[in-house]
């Protein structure tokens, strides 16, 4: 609460302690030491121990409520004895009712679904300053909260309320210790002074300052360098809107503003009344015992109760009766006048009564519109009441919400009394309190009603969560020779076949046509045999729209299938912004950008692959070339995954040897990288391992004997199976490096992968310089998984190290069988040219999202080394050995 006196006394709390004698600091240190010991002993208490103490304390407070109220009024000369009794009872009974079943010791909450435990840790020693306006109730409240939370408190009451407060502390202490609380758990500073407060606020063994009082004290608390709960002044605006129940509103305001003669800082200060009801409201106030001041009386009142120098209320008026104030001011009012009401015409220094008045004087303002009313309320709120309390009376929910939005107050009380409403648990479900957090607007750290949880350090025990994973593939996959015949299962009114010219020329399109449901209108869109460009997509979408297609068949390699995926996306959701959808992300489940779910068209996408490598027929990825801006746009979302995949080897029987080798090694790289990926799961492992086995067995045969149906079939399946693995586990560093230098030197993707592969296996199998954070894996397992692959392939070896070595040798042997170059140098790239390119290659590779799931986090320097190893060639690649690289 703010009073001039309080401001004078509290604002200038010294930040140094020269004024304290050694004897005094010894006394203060002794108090802290005693409290510290009590707090330490208290840490051993159980919830039952604590609750056994709290209840008798509350009963003692209730028993002494009248005694303490009388003491407070006698000593402070503020407020109303009967109301202070109520305050003491609320501070004990209502607070007890709120806290009695709350857990404040040990585990206080278990959030099973989040694998979290919240555990309470007491703060230790609290230094608590209490106000003159609500002295004993605040002490009772804080003592009860402190015991419930196992803290010790040193009280420094307002000097003019010391006696009643020290009695309250004594009563609480005796009740607590009698029922087992540690000795010294509460102490009350003898003859507290400002230097005492400053000293204790900075004491190393004080854990928290709990300052309820004026702004100076709150500021001093926050400036001390200690954690502080500082709550301070208010200036409560009230909007009495025309739809309100006038009778209820007027009674509530009188109840609140006269309660303890207006000493609660949440009490109403200025009531802004809609023009339509203004006269009726004032008449009702008069009927119920208020005196409405005329202009002259208002001037007289403001000159007397507001200090013209500071603009704050005069201390002599605080907590006094309306009739007494009127007499002092020289107003002629009825003896039982409850409230003095002064009409004002604005807010600010020219309208002195628009500030906080902790006595039964209320300003009223006549507003011509809702806008004006809200504006005046905002002005009052900003005239010393930020963060504190505001009140609205209305039946219009829209206006109530608007009021809540525009007013900055920790408590916005609706259709009920401000002061008692803000205390909580009487008129509403706010937490009962005697300390109002005022948020940053009031220079506080909280807007809460201060409660037991502010007296605790709440620790969160976070168990490792078994993160949910996924395995998503097309609904239907048809495989093996003549699988294309299954096309007839899919009824369609109009089908568009997306393909490229060579496939049409060799008759593949005709084969597909033959198996499409009869009665289906089939149209073929031939696109270039290259990564799709924006204009290609546009043309395809135009065709889809023109024919109103309900089915798309993508017949081709990765580029054709990618194009079809994007065409489908744009056909179904024309508003989809491809550049926006390509925004980078780290975790698919937490990505910022969401793919559209509103679709104006629907088309089934059937992908028929004609190469055995990319596996695009089952993946959720698509790459687009944006020639206009000279870049690749990579789209990734499971909504891109084709609905149906057909893996029919008849379409790959004519693949040339080079393409067979390149796509086959691309497939192997997919499987190996998915196998050791940080996103790998048992589901993806099953696919990855099987794909690796198939590649090692059948790729050399398919390469040497292209017409071998079994080898072609198995390699075609392997590509699809590997793609199912990496669609869900992602790829790794090999792909990031291969993307960079493949693009830079125009090297086919599979070939670029091949040049890196042995080196990346050796790299991933050794102890990482930097581990990759991954909630999906336990420990570092890449080397063990490579060893498992070696076992699966029957490569021999006794130790993990030997098995990794054998896998690398087998991979190199496979690459030799497929006649891959052994080094980048063999590709005709000069050392100088490569040296010039490496920095940029590393930069590009580092930006490539592919390595984010790599088991080992690559450092840029390590990428440089890997590029040079690949440049120099496989002969230089050694599996991890103890002497060269420590194995895990």
Catalytic residues: 265
- Count of CB atoms situated within 10 Å of the CB of 231: 33
Tokens 């990759």 identify what position? 772
CB of 124 to other proteins, least distance (A): 7
Q: Residue 645: which H helix or E strand, with range? A: strand 644-647
Q: Where are the alpha helices (DSSP H) in 773-826?
A: 782-792, 800-817
**With helix as H, strand as E and coil as C, how does 5-56 read?**
HHHHHHCCCCCCCCCCCHHHHHHHHHHHHHHHHHHHHHCCCCHHHHHHHHHH
CB of 38 to other proteins, least distance (A): 7
**Closer residue to other proteins, CB minimum distance, 40 or 117:** 40
Judged by CB under 8 A, does residue 830 bind other proteins? no
**Closer residue to other proteins, CB minimum distance, 254 or 456:** 456
Tokens 């009052």 identify what position? 380
Q: β-strand 361-367 against 268-274: which pairing, if any? A: parallel
- Give the number of residues written for the chain: 888
Among the residue ranges 31-39, 130-138, 399-407, 435-443, the one whose residues contact other proteins (CB under 8 A): 31-39
Judged by CB under 8 A, does residue 207 bind other proteins? no
Q: What are phi and psi of 442, to 5 degrees?
A: -100, 15
Among the residue ranges 37-45, 385-393, 521-529, 858-866, the one whose residues contact other proteins (CB under 8 A): 37-45
> Cα(319)–Cα(746) distance, rounded to whole angstroms?
86
Do 295 and 264 meet the contact criterion of CB atoms below 8 Å apart? Answer: no
**Closer residue to other proteins, CB minimum distance, 153 or 665:** 153
Do 473 and 724 meet the contact criterion of CB atoms below 8 Å apart? Answer: yes
Among the residue ranges 62-70, 93-101, 178-186, 633-641, the one whose residues contact other proteins (CB under 8 A): 178-186
**Closer residue to other proteins, CB minimum distance, 39 or 325:** 39
Residues 612-631 close enough to bind other proteins by CB under 8 A: none
Question: Residue 732: which of 764, 780, 696 has the closest Cα?
Answer: 764
**Closer residue to other proteins, CB minimum distance, 175 or 353:** 175
**Closer residue to other proteins, CB minimum distance, 182 or 742:** 182
DSSP character for 640? G
> Cα(832)–Cα(561) distance, rounded to whole angstroms?
38
What percentage of the chain's residues is helix, strand, coil (to nearest 5)? Answer: 50, 15, 35
Burial 277-316 (b: 16+ CB within 10 A, else e): bbeebbebbeeeebbbbeeebbebbbebbbbeeeebbbbb
Q: Is 64 exposed, middle or buried (0-12, 13-18, 19+ CB in 10 A)?
A: buried
**Closer residue to other proteins, CB minimum distance, 124 or 319:** 124
Supply the DSSP string of 386-428, one letter for each residue.
TEEEEEEE-S-HHHHHHHHHHS-EEEEEESS-HHHHHH-SSSS
SS3 assignment, position 97 = helix
Beta-strand runs (E) in 140-202: 152-157, 186-188
Size of site (CB under 8 A) for other proteins: 12
Question: Residue 221: which of 195, 204, 202, 196 has the closest Cα?
Answer: 202
Residues 318-377 close enough to bind other proteins by CB under 8 A: none
Judged by CB under 8 A, does residue 41 bind other proteins? yes
> Cα(244)–Cα(248) distance, rounded to whole angstroms?
8
Judged by CB under 8 A, does residue 203 bind other proteins? no
Binder of other proteins out of 184, 214, 442, 532 (CB under 8 A): 184
Longest CA–CA separation in the chain, Å: 116
CB of 37 to other proteins, least distance (A): 5
> Cα(776)–Cα(469) distance, rounded to whole angstroms?
8
> Cα(31)–Cα(743) distance, rounded to whole angstroms?
74
CB of 182 to other proteins, least distance (A): 6
CB of 184 to other proteins, least distance (A): 7
Compose the 122-141 pattern: x for residues touching other proteins by CB under 8 A, - for all others. Answer: --x-----------------
CB of 281 to other proteins, least distance (A): 58
Judged by CB under 8 A, does residue 119 bind other proteins? no
> Cα(556)–Cα(684) distance, rounded to whole angstroms?
25
Judged by CB under 8 A, does residue 886 bind other proteins? no
Question: Residue 466: which of 132, 862, 114 has the closest Cα?
Answer: 114
Judged by CB under 8 A, does residue 39 bind other proteins? yes
Among the residue ranges 34-42, 99-107, 278-286, 776-784, the one whose residues contact other proteins (CB under 8 A): 34-42
Do 208 and 123 meet the contact criterion of CB atoms below 8 Å apart? Answer: yes
Binder of other proteins out of 1, 2, 20, 38 (CB under 8 A): 38
**Closer residue to other proteins, CB minimum distance, 37 or 639:** 37
Among the residue ranges 181-189, 252-260, 299-307, 709-717, the one whose residues contact other proteins (CB under 8 A): 181-189
DSSP character for 352? G
**Closer residue to other proteins, CB minimum distance, 125 or 172:** 125
Residues 410-439 close enough to bind other proteins by CB under 8 A: none
Judged by CB under 8 A, does residue 44 bind other proteins? yes
Q: β-strand 186-188 against 228-231: which pairing, if any? A: unpaired
CB of 28 to other proteins, least distance (A): 18
Question: Residue 818: which of 658, 584, 711, 621 has the closest Cα?
Answer: 658
Judged by CB under 8 A, does residue 36 bind other proteins? yes
Among the residue ranges 9-17, 36-44, 80-88, 533-541, the one whose residues contact other proteins (CB under 8 A): 36-44
Binder of other proteins out of 14, 25, 27, 40 (CB under 8 A): 40
Residues 783-812 close enough to bind other proteins by CB under 8 A: none
> Cα(35)–Cα(208) distance, rounded to whole angstroms?
13
CB of 45 to other proteins, least distance (A): 9
Binder of other proteins out of 19, 43, 843, 884 (CB under 8 A): 43
CB of 33 to other proteins, least distance (A): 9
Among the residue ranges 40-48, 74-82, 134-142, 293-301, the one whose residues contact other proteins (CB under 8 A): 40-48
Judged by CB under 8 A, does residue 540 bind other proteins? no
**Closer residue to other proteins, CB minimum distance, 182 or 343:** 182
Residues 76-115 close enough to bind other proteins by CB under 8 A: none
Q: β-strand 116-122 against 125-130: which pairing, if any? A: unpaired
DSSP character for 746? T
Do 143 and 57 meet the contact criterion of CB atoms below 8 Å apart? Answer: yes
Judged by CB under 8 A, does residue 37 bind other proteins? yes
CB of 211 to other proteins, least distance (A): 24
CB of 186 to other proteins, least distance (A): 14
Compose the 377-396 pattern: x for residues touching other proteins by CB under 8 A, - for all others. Answer: --------------------
CB of 126 to other proteins, least distance (A): 15
**Closer residue to other proteins, CB minimum distance, 37 or 634:** 37
CB of 44 to other proteins, least distance (A): 5
Among the residue ranges 30-38, 708-716, 738-746, 794-802, the one whose residues contact other proteins (CB under 8 A): 30-38
What's the token pair of residue 424? Answer: 């909580």
**Closer residue to other proteins, CB minimum distance, 146 or 691:** 146
> Cα(261)–Cα(239) distance, rounded to whole angstroms?
21
Among the residue ranges 177-185, 442-450, 624-632, 777-785, the one whose residues contact other proteins (CB under 8 A): 177-185
**Closer residue to other proteins, CB minimum distance, 1 or 38:** 38
Where does this chain bind other proteins (CB under 8 A)?
A: 36-41, 43-44, 124, 182-184
């Amino acid at each position: 609460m703010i009073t001039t006196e309080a401001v004078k006394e509290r604002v200038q709390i010294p930040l140094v302690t020269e004024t304290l004698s050694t004897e005094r600091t010894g006394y203060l240190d002794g108090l802290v030491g005693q409290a510290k010991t009590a707090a330490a002993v208290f840490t051993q208490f159980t919830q039952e121990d604590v609750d056994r103490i709290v209840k008798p304390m509350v009963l003692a407070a209730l028993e002494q409520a009248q005694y303490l109220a009388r003491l407070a009024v006698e000593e402070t000369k503020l407020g109303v004895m009967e109301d202070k009794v109520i305050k003491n009872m609320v501070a004990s009974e209502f607070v007890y009712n709120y806290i009695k079943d709350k857990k404040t010791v040990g585990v206080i909450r278990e959030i099973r679904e989040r694998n979290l435990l919240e555990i309470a840790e007491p703060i230790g020693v609290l230094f608590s300053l209490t106000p003159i306006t609500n002295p004993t109730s605040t002490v009772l409240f804080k003592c009860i909260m402190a015991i419930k939370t196992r803290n010790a408190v040193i009280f420094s009451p307002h000097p003019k309320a010391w006696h009643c407060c020290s009695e309250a502390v004594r009563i609480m202490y005796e009740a607590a210790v009698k029922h087992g609380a540690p000795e010294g758990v509460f102490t009350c500073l003898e003859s507290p002074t400002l230097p005492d407060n400053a000293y204790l606020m900075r004491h190393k063994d004080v854990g928290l300052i709990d300052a309820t009082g004026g702004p100076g004290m709150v500021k001093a608390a926050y400036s001390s360098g200690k954690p502080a709960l500082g709550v301070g002044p208010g200036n409560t605006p009230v909007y009495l809107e025309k739809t309100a129940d006038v009778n209820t509103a007027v009674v509530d305001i009188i109840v609140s503003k006269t309660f303890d003669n207006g000493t609660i800082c949440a009490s109403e200060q200025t009531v802004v009344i809609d023009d339509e009801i203004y006269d009726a409201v004032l008449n009702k106030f008069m009927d119920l015992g208020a005196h409405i001041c005329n202009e002259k009386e208002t001037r007289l009142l403001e000159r007397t109760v507001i200090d013209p120098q500071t603009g704050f209320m005069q201390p002599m008026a605080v907590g006094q009766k309306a009739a007494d104030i009127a007499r002092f001011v020289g107003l002629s009012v009825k003896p039982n006048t409850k409230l003095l009401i002064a009409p004002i015409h604005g807010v600010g220094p020219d309208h002195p009564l628009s500030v906080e008045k902790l006595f039964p004087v209320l300003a009223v303002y006549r507003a011509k519109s809702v806008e004006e009313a809200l504006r005046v309320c905002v002005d009052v709120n900003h005239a010393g009441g930020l963060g504190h309390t505001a009140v609205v009376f209305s039946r219009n929910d829209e206006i109530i919400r608007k009021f809540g939005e525009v007013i900055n107050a920790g408590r916005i009380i609706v259709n009920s009394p401000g002061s008692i409403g803000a205390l909580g648990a009487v008129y509403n479900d706010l937490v009962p309190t005697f300390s109002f957090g005022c948020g940053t607007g009031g220079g506080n750290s909280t807007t809460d009603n201060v409660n037991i949880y502010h007296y605790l350090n709440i620790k969160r025990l976070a168990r490792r969560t078994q993160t949910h994973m996924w395995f998503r593939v097309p609904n239907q996959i048809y495989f093996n020779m003549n699988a294309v015949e299954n096309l007839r299962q899919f009824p369609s009114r109009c089908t568009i076949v997306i393909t490229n010219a060579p496939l049409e020329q060799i008759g593949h399109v005709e084969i597909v046509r033959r198996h499409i449901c009869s009665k289906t209108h089939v149209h073929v869109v031939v696109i270039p045999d290259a990564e799709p460009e924006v204009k290609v997509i546009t043309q395809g979408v135009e065709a889809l729209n023109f024919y109103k297609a309900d089915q798309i068949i993508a017949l081709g390699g990765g580029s054709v299938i990618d194009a079809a995926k994007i065409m489908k996306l744009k056909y179904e959701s024309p508003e989809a912004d491809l550049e926006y959808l390509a925004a980078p992300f780290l975790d698919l489940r937490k990505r910022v950008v969401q793919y559209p779910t509103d679709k104006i068209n629907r088309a089934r996408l059937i992908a028929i692959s004609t190469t055995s490598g990319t596996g695009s027929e089952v993946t959720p990825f698509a790459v687009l070339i944006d020639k206009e801006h000279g870049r690749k746009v990579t789209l990734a979302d499971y909504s891109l995954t084709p609905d149906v995949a057909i893996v029919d080897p008849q379409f790959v029987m004519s693949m040339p040897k080079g393409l067979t080798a390149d796509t086959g090694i691309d497939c192997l790289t997919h499987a190996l990288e998915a196998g050791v990926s940080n996103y790998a799961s048992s589901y993806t492992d099953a696919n990855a391992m099987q794909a690796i086995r198939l590649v090692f067995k059948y790729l050399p045969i398919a390469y040497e004997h292209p017409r071998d149906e079994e080898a072609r079939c198995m390699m075609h399946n392997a590509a699809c199976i590997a793609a199912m693995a990496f669609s869900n586990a992602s790829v790794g560093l090999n792909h990031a490096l291969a993307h960079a230098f493949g693009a830079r030197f125009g090297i086919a993707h599979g070939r670029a992968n091949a040049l890196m592969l042995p080196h990346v296996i050796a790299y991933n199998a050794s102890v990482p310089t930097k581990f990759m954070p991954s909630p999906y894996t336990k420990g570092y397992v890449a080397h063990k998984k490579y060893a498992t692959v070696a076992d699966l392939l029957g490569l021999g070896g006794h130790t993990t190290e030997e098995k990794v070595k054998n896998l690398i040798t087998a991979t190199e042997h496979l690459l030799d069988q497929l006649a891959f170059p052994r080094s980048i140098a063999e590709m005709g790239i000069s050392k100088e040219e490569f040296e010039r390119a490496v920095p940029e290659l590393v930069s590009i590779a580092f930006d490539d999202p592919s390595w984010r799931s790599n088991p080992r986090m690559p450092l840029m320097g390590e990428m440089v080394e890997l590029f040079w190893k690949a440049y120099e060639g496989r002969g230089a690649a050694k599996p991890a050995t103890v002497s060269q690289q420590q194995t895990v």
